[in-house]
Structure formats: structure tokens, C-alpha cells
Amino acid sequence: MSTFFTVLILLFIVVAIWQIVKIYDLTQVNTSTDNSQIANDKDNKINGNLMLGFLIFIYAITIICFIRYGDFPLMSNSASAHGPKIDNLMVVSMALIFFVQTITQFFLYYFAYKYKGQKGNKAFFYSDNHKLEFIWTIIPAITLTCLITYGLVTWSDIMNLDQDEDPMVIELYAQQFNWKARYSGNDNALGKSNVRLIDIDRANILGVDEFDPNAQDDIITTELHLPVGRPILFKMRSQDVLHSAYMPHFRAQMNCVPGMITQFSFTPTVTTDEMRKTPEIIEKVININNIRAEKSKDLIAKGEEGLDPYEFDYLLLCNKICGKSHYNMQMKIIVETQEEFDNWIEQQTKFKNSLIAKN
Amino acid sequence: MSEYIEFDPKEDHGHHHKETFITKYIFSQDHKMIAKQYLITGVLFMGVIGILMSLLMRLQIAWPEEPNIIFEFLLGKWAPEGVMDADIYLALVTMHGTIMVFFVLTAGLSGTFSNLLIPLQIGARDMASGFLNMVSFWLFFVSTVIMVISIFVEAGPAAAGWTIYPPLSALEFAQGGSGLGMTLWLVSMAIFIASSLLGSLNYIVTVINLRTKGMTLMRMPLTIWAFFVTAIIGVISFPVLLSAALLLIMDRSFGTSFFLSDIFIQGEVLHYQGGSPVLFEHLFWFLGHPEVYIVLLPALGIASEVISTNSRKPIFGYKAMVLSILAIAFLSTIVWGHHMFISGMNPFLGSVFTFTTLLIAIPSAVKAFNYITTLWKGNIQFNPAMLFSIGFVSTFITGGLTGIILGDSALDINLHDTYFVVAHFHLVMGISALYGLFAGVYHWFPRLFNRMLNKNLGYIHFWVTAICAYGVFFPMHFIGMAGLPRRYYTNSNFPLFDDLADTNQIITVFAIIGGLIQIVFLYNFIHSMFYGKKSEQNPWKSNTLEWTASMEHIHGNWQGKIPEVHRWPYDYSKPGYDEDFVPQHKPLKKGETEY
């Protein structure tokens, strides 16, 4: 019943808007002597002034957004070696487009305001100026050349893997709707794998070749632990549809494609513990916990359970539409010291020991 | 060509067959009627559906946990107890994208204005083939019907995103929408592409062959240049999407492995071997990126025409404008890879695409600066169409600039598929193209229906829409920079994003106001169509030929001879003339130079 009434109300709102517009429309006919529906001096004046008002609105919304959202912790403190390079490029690009935006919008709306039409005025016939056009072709061209060069240097820096660094190889394995990590063990080589080898009954969920010597010491986990300061080479695989391994704090992302192995590498530089102690994160966590406490109050009042308080953790998110539970496909990432990492990995089961014997 | 001009519709055309209701309003071959059909099916009908879907999505994002009675009513079993199903959220994302990009902004925009303006502005009696034109519309109509039907199928419509990347779209078990819904989507799109190709070929042939005497290429209005180049890009790129769709149909129905390999799903290994989803991404974006310009170029053309007319000034740098349209069109076909920087393709290829992508900023910047210079020292008449055109330039700049960030492969690593992307493309192609569309409707409504739209309602429509457009999409950049992925049904599983919830609510409020204010436009449109003030022959004092055509809608456009063209279309406020406009068919005075 309440559905019916809500819909009725919505319908009334639509009809009401329609009717208000109609009434407004009808009143116009009687009052105005000029009914040509072509802009006259009065319209030009009002809209010309509104143009200036709109310019101020754009500036205001820009300033508000920058003050309110400009210092998202995610923007300022990256946790990987290449992160600051991306952030610098971002800041340079943002500064540039902010500058161009401010200037061009100013001229656009200011000219619209300044040259609003008036009866009897005649526009200035000005159809071409090659010098001017040359200037505003060449200036963007030079600016973009610099930006492209800067961008490409950064890009190849990030994507080109230096094998001399001896990266630790970890496989990220995606399936609807969860992540697994496979560590390559002491030999730092992943065992061969293919989805055709998946044998759920024997708990070989990633399809690892059990006869491959490299596979024996592989370790499969549901949490991603990374030693700080060590280059990591991620090999990504997916068993069903496209997924994307997005690790925003590390400025890292790569799609996981069924049928092929993709890769991305980075060096984590800040441990989870250190990150939790940075002032930005402390502030963010307090802020989020206030919001959650507020929500919990409402929930408890309704007789439901309250929300758990939030503690900061690095996350791996799925960032390519992958089906129904795409919105909840995540894995916790923990960056820790080498020592802590060694202790943790020691406790995990090796692949050869994780298989269930055939009956 | 001169023979064609002598052609007299009174003797030859007007009376030789009697028009019935069916030939005049339904299976019409007259380009003006077909334009109206596109406008009503593509823009009004599909536009309302597309915008409604976006409002449902925004409601879900802003208040994800609370049961919503609107959902319960509109979505029925897909929103039990008023809580939206996660699959249906993705279906809404998909259908909103598909409908807005293809049906409203491709077919609706090009279909309406290319059809209306190409013959009228180049001085032709109709399209090169009126019959093909009619077939093109009716194919479009069939594809619209199929797409709308697909919304109502049992398991839900296609839900793999408008990019329908396989394997998600290819495997029935992967997702509810990948069954019958996806089949209908693919069939509808295949028909749509056929319609689009017939339309585009017709536009190209008409522009090349049927220009009136004196209408040289460099005397064509920028609208025609834009429609012409748009049609060429369409003919180059749409067939590739058709091939992708056909191969996907093969993979889905006949077990081939073009896009699929090594898949384990629902407890079993599928037989697919050797295909690659990345291949599909290449094929899709080979259309998908030019598609952005198929949507944008007509809007650029319309804005050029409207800004020049209403500034009472020639468009600044006509030749540069034409060249930049051509440059944008050329570059648009070699930048598709910037959608795939992190798809797993070779990083070196990424570098090439970064380079070509950022080059597009140059012709785009030239266009923006030329628009601004056109306003300088003008005598600007703020008709509603002019407001939308200025709004267009504004969102084109704002949205275009963030393209410099996303086109940079290194920055794309962190921003790919976040709300930053959503904000970027909605401003630069969504809102901009919609503004171009509205500008076109306000400007050529008198030509379509011989009546004027109410200007005051137009002003309200523009100002509220403009504020809401910035209110929705400007903050969205920032939640994207905070790392919020798009296409999430709810963010409540990530406490990390809890501090963005209030921003999402503000955005939704702006979206709802912006959506509802379109009712004003709908009212204005429908009311003025029947009761609007009768228009004059040339209400905006414009130079182009469409305003010399017969007011009465006759099949053949001009009673008597088609006017001959003697000058370019932008002689506004030319020194030596009393009036501030000199129509294209006025001969040059002795000693007068063109441009």
C-alpha cells in the first residue's frame, strides 16, 4: 500500500512541476508585449549577468572541492617506490589543467557577459588571424610535448622491469569473487599452472601442476603479505572473467585476463604499522570512525548490530566489472618487515603438503 | 548539377503522388520527417529511459542500505522489499550507458540533425536516397524495440557494462544478464550498426554529390563539415564493432574461441582454448573511441553554427575549425588503446597510445580558443540555443582537460576505472553532447515545427541544468582521486570509503534536480509543438540556406529553384552592409572579397 502512495506522490510531483510550468507559461503570454520568443535586450542583460554569476559558481565549486577533498590521504602518501613519481606527475598535470581551466573559463564567461547584445550595437567583423591561431596551436603543442615526455619517462620507469633487482615473484589469482596469492617459495619460481589442472576434490584450487618441481614449495594464501623494501613481481591470472587487481595505496593496477598472464611490479616502502601512525591516516581513521559510530547509533536504535570500528589496512580491490559481487571482491594487504614476513611465511602450508590424497 | 537546380517540385514532385497518412508520417522518405522521427524515438523516448536509469543508480549509490519504495515499484522482483539486487544495479549501469551513448547521442543526435540539416544547408531537395534513409530509420526503430524488450527478460538485461567485455558477457553462468539479455543486446546492436551505416553512407554521398551551385566545400557551414566527418568516422569504425559482435555471438552460441581461453567456472573447465579477451577490447575500442567523436563532433558543429549566429560575428578561424575537425577525426581512429593501458597489452604500445592521445588536445584547444575569440567583441543574443552552446564550450573545456590526465598512461594506472573516469567522460561527451543536442533543438525547432520554443522556459532549463551538471560531475573527480572504483553496487563493504558517502549523497541530490528539470524541457517541447508561437521565416537572422526553404513542409524543400550560393555562411556584421547578416545566396557586391 505504501508503495502505491509513494508512486502516487511521485506522480503528483511530476504533474505538479508540469502544471507549474504551464501556469508560468500562460502568465507570460499576457504580461509581455514582446512575444517573439527571440532574445531581447532584457534577456541579454539578465543572461549576460548570469554568465558572470556562473563563472563565480564554477570558481566557488572548484575551491570548495579542493579545500574539502584536495588532501585525500590517498593522494598524498603513496606506499610504493614508484608512487611519488606518479603523484608528482599528477600534481604537475593538475596544476597545468587548473591554470588552463581558470583562464579559459574566465575568458569564455567574461566575454559572454561583456559583449551581451544590445539593439543597435554591431559586432566586430573579425574572421581570421593566422598569427593568433599559430600561437594557440604552438603553445599547446610545446606544453603537451613536455607533458608527454615527462609522462612517458615515468611510464617506462614503472613498467620496465629490472631483472637485476631480483624481485620476489608472487602470483595474484582472481576468481568470481575472491583473490588468492601464490608465493613462489624458496626457489622464487612459480610452478606451472593451468585451469585444466584444477581439482577441487584434491584441494588443487589454482590448477598448479603437482609434478612440477618448482611448484612443490609454492604457498597459497588468502591474505597478501609483503616484505617492505623488496621489489615484488606480481604475475596475475584469472580463472573465469576479467578482473583488475587495483592496489590504490601502491599506485598499482593491472587486469587479470583468463588465458594469459599479466604482470606488474612495485616495491612497497611503508609498512602497515608505519602507515597507521602517519598523521593523515590517523585523522582519516578518526573521521571514518565518527561516521561509523553515528551510523551504528541508528542501526542499534533499529535493533540491528552496530558497525565495527575501522582500522586502516592496505587493500587489493577488483576494479573491472566481474559480476554480481564485484563490489565486494577484496583482499587485505599487509606490508611488514622482512623478519615478520619470514615468520609468517614459515607458518603457511606448502603446496605439496596442502593436497588431499586421492582415495 | 545545374539540371538538378532547375527541377521544379510543383510540376514534378509535389503532385505526382498523393501522400497518405502512412507515407507522410510513418514510412516517410522525406528527410525532415525522418529527422523528427529520430528526435522523438531516439532523444525523447530513449532519453527519458536513460536518464531515469541513471537516477535509480544514483539513489542506490547514495543510500545503499535503505529500502527504497521507488525501487520496489519500478524494479518489482529485482528489488525485493525495496532493496535493489546487485545484478540489476550492473544491468542499469549497462543499459544506461548503451542507451545514452548509442541511442540518444549517436542515433538521436546525428539522426536528427544530419537528416534535417544536410539537405537543407547544402541546398538539396532530399537525401541522395530517400528510401535508404527510411530503411535506416526503421532499422533503428527495430533495434530500439529489441533493446527495450531486453530490459524485461526473465534473467534481466545485459549487465556486463556497455563495453560488454567477454568472458563476462560470453558465459551464461557468469552473470544473470549474460543469457537472453545479452543475446538481445547483441542482436539489437547489430541492427543498430546496419542502420547507422546506411545513414552514414547516405550523409556522405549527399554531401559529396548534391551540393547546390556555388556550395564549394569551403563554403559549407561547420555543421555540415561536422556531420560529414562524423559519418566518415562511423563508416570506418562501426563495421569493426559489428565484427566484434558477430565473433562474440559465435563464441556464445557456436562454441568458437575467439575471445575465450582457459576458463574454469561453476566447477568445470570449459573447452575454450587460444582466444583472448584483449582482442575483443581492441575491436571494441576501435569503434569505442571514435564513437566518442561520433557523439561529440555533431555537437561541435551545432555549437559553431549557433555561436556564430548569436554572436552576430563570423566564426573565428573557419579554416582552422575545419582542419581541427579533420585532425580530431584522424587522431580519433588511432587512440583506442588508451582505454587499455592496464589490459595486459605491451607497455610500449601504451606509450604510443599516450602520445597520439595527448595530441588530440591540440586541435581541441584550437577549437576552444576559436569559440572564445568568436564571442570577443560580439553582439551576443542570449537565445536558449546560445546558452547551451556556451555551456557546451565550458563543459568541453572542463571535461577535455581531465583527458590530459587520463590519457597519460602513468596516471591512468591509478585512475583507471575509478569515478574520475566517470566524471571525465560524462562532462566531455555526455553533458557536452547533450548541450549540443539541446542547442540544436532550441535553434532548429522553428525549422522542424514552424513554431518557437518558449524562451523563458528555455532559460530556466539551461541554468538549472548547468548548475546541476557541475554539481554532479565536479565533485565526482575528487572521489575518483580518492580511489573509489566505478560500477560498485555499494561501497559499504569498504570502510575505507565511508568518508565519501556524504559527497555521494550531494551528487545524487544534484542529479535528481537536474533530471527533474528536464520535465520543463519536455513540457516546452510538446506544448510548443502544437501551441507554440508561429515562427517567422528566419527567426534568428541566420545566413544558412535552411532558412530560405519553404515554410510549408513540402517534399523537395524549396518551391521553385534551389538558391545558388555565392559566399561562405558566416558573413555576420560584415562592413558595408546595413543588416548584420548576409545570407549565403546573396551575390557578392562588386569588389567585395569573401571571408
DSSP helix/strand/coil, A75: helix
Q: Is the peptide bond before A177 cis (omega within 30 degrees of 0)?
A: yes
Say how many CA atoms lie within 13 Å of B346 toward its Cβ: 3
Residues B307 and B323: their CA atoms lie apart, in Å, by 19
Q: What is the ipTM of this complex?
A: 0.92
What's the pLDDT score for residue B15? 43
Length of chain A: 359
Instruction: Return the C-alpha torsion angle A91, A95, A96, A100, nearest 10.
Output: 150
Size of interface A-B (CB pairs under 8 A): 416
Location of C-alpha cell 511530476:
A14
Distance between A348 CA and the closest CA of chain B, angstroms = 26
Number of helices followed by number of strands (H, E) in chain B: 22, 2
Contacts of B519 in chain A (CB under 8 A): 14, 17-18, 21
Bridge partners (DSSP) of residue B115 are: none
Quote the strand ranges of A186-345, DSSP E.
219-221, 224-227, 232-238, 243-247, 252-256, 262-266, 314-318, 330-336
- Cα–Cα separations (whole angstroms), residue A348 to A237, A272, A351: 21, 20, 9
Residues of B in contact with A323 (CB under 8 A): 90, 168, 174-175
Provide, as residue numbers in chain A, all residues whose Cβ is less than 8 Å from the Cβ of B278.
257, 260
Asked if residue A87 lies in contact with residue A251, where contact means CB atoms within 8 angstroms, the answer is yes
Q: Which of A65, A118, A255 minimises the CB distance to B342?
A: A255
Cα torsion B196, B198, B204, B205 to 10°: value is -170
- Residue B105 DSSP label: I
Chain B residues 46-105 with a CB less than 8 Å from chain A? 69-70, 72-73, 86-87, 90, 93
Query: Residues A288, A294, A295, A296: is their CA dihedral positive or negative?
Result: positive
Residues of chain A in contact with residue B498, where contact means CB-CB under 8 angstroms, are: 288, 291-292, 310
Distance CA B73, CA B480 (A): 31
pLDDT digits (tens, 9 = 90+) for B107-151: 999 999 999 999 999 999 999 999 999 999 999 999 999 999 999
Q: Is B362 helix (H, G, I), strand (E, B) or coil?
A: helix
Digitized pLDDT (tens) for each residue of chain A, 359 residues in all: 566 676 777 788 888 888 888 777 777 665 555 678 899 899 999 999 999 999 999 999 999 988 888 766 556 688 999 999 999 999 899 999 999 999 999 999 999 999 999 888 889 999 889 999 999 999 999 999 999 999 999 999 999 887 777 899 999 999 999 999 999 988 999 999 999 999 888 889 999 998 999 999 999 999 999 999 999 999 999 999 999 999 999 999 999 999 999 999 999 999 999 999 998 889 889 999 999 999 899 888 888 888 888 999 999 999 999 999 999 999 999 999 999 999 999 999 999 888 887 76
Q: In chain A, what's the furthest Cα-to-Cα distance?
A: 98
- C-alpha span between B347 and B349 (Å, rounded): 5
Residues from chain B that touch A112, judged by Cβ atoms under 8 A, are 375, 380, 390
Instruction: Please enumerate in sequence order all residues whose Cβ is within 8 A of that of A133, keeping only pairs 6 or more positions apart, or say none.
Output: B317, B320, B366, B370
d(CA B422, CA B205): 36
Residue type, A96: L
Residue showing cell 527519458: B48
Return the H-helix or E-strand segment holding A24: helix A2-31
Which H or E run contains B241? helix B222-254
- Which residues of chain A does B69 touch, with a Cβ-Cβ cutoff of 8 Å? 2-3, 6-7
Q: Does B344 touch chain A (CB under 8 A)?
A: yes
- pLDDT for B550 equals 87
DSSP state of A208: B
Residue of B168, B178, B219 best to disrupt the A interface, most CBs of A under 10 A: B168
Cβ pair B361:A160 closer than 8 A:
no
Q: Do B344 and A254 touch (CB under 8 A)?
A: yes
User: What's the CA gap between B572 and A40, in Å, rounded?
Assistant: 18
Nearest to B281 by CA among A242, A136, A290: A242
B455 pLDDT more than 70: yes
Cβ–Cβ contacts within 10 Å for residue B576, how many? 9
**Alpha-carbon radius of gyration of chain B:** 24
Of A36, A47, A200, the CB nearest to B459: A47
CA distance B280 to B5: 48
Q: Please tell me the distance in Å from B188's CA to the nearest CA on chain A.
A: 22
Do the Cβ atoms of B507 and B471 come closer than 8 Å? yes
User: Are B452 and A37 in contact (CB < 8 Å)?
Assistant: yes
- B311 with A123: CB under 8 angstroms? yes
The CB-side HSE value for A138 (13 A sphere, CA atoms) comes to 6
Average pLDDT on B13-21 reads 59
3-state secondary structure B3-57: HHHHCCHHHHCCCCCCCCHHHHHHCCCCHHHHHHHHHHHHHHHHHHHHHHHHHHH
CB atoms within 10 A of CB B67: 13
